Amino acid sequence: MSEIVRFGVSLDNALLGRYDNLIRRKNYRNRSEAIRELIRHSLSNKNYEGDGEVAGAIIYIYDKRQRDLVNRIIDVQHDYRDIMQLSQHMHLNNNDCIEIVAVKGLFSKVCKFSDSLKALKGVRHGSLSASRTGKIK
C-alpha cells in the first residue's frame, strides 16, 4: 500500500453540509472514505488504456433565458457531429429544460463533447455516463 497523504480542501459551508448529508445516507464512515470513493469513481470513468468506442448519455439542465444559450448548445452539437447523437428534450418549468443526449463515439471525443456542453454558461447538472462497446480504435 502506498503512503497516505493528507490534504486540505476548501469549500463553502452549505455545500459541505449537503455532502455530509449524502455521506450519512450512503453510510460512509467519514468524509475521507466518501472522498476516496468519489476519486476512484472519477478515475474509473476516465481510466482507459488507449481510446475506444463508448456508448452512453449526456444529461444536462439549462436555463433557456440565458442569452443565446440554445444556439450555443446547437453549435456545440454540430461541432461534434461525428459522434452519433440522439437528443430528447423536456420542458421542466417556465425557464428550465432538460436534455438527454444518447451518444456513441470515441471516448476521447465524447468526453470533449460532454465537457464543452457543461462549460456553457447556464448549463448545470451536466453528467456523462458511458460504457465501452468493446470496439478499439
Residues that bind Ni ion (CB under 5 A): 91, 97
Q: Which is nearer to Ni ion, 54 or 76 (CB)?
A: 76
Q: Which is nearer to Ni ion, 33 or 75 (CB)?
A: 75
Q: Whole-number minimum distance, CB 30 to Ni ion, in Å?
A: 41
Per-residue CA distances from 29 to 21, 36, 52, 90 (Å): 12, 12, 36, 38
Q: Whole-number minimum distance, CB 89 to Ni ion, in Å?
A: 6
Residue nearest to Ni ion (CB): 97
Q: Is 27 left (phi over 0), alpha (psi -120 to 50) or beta?
A: left
Q: Whole-number minimum distance, CB 94 to Ni ion, in Å?
A: 10
Residue 114, judged by CB atoms within 10 A of its CB (0-12, 13-18, 19+), counts as buried
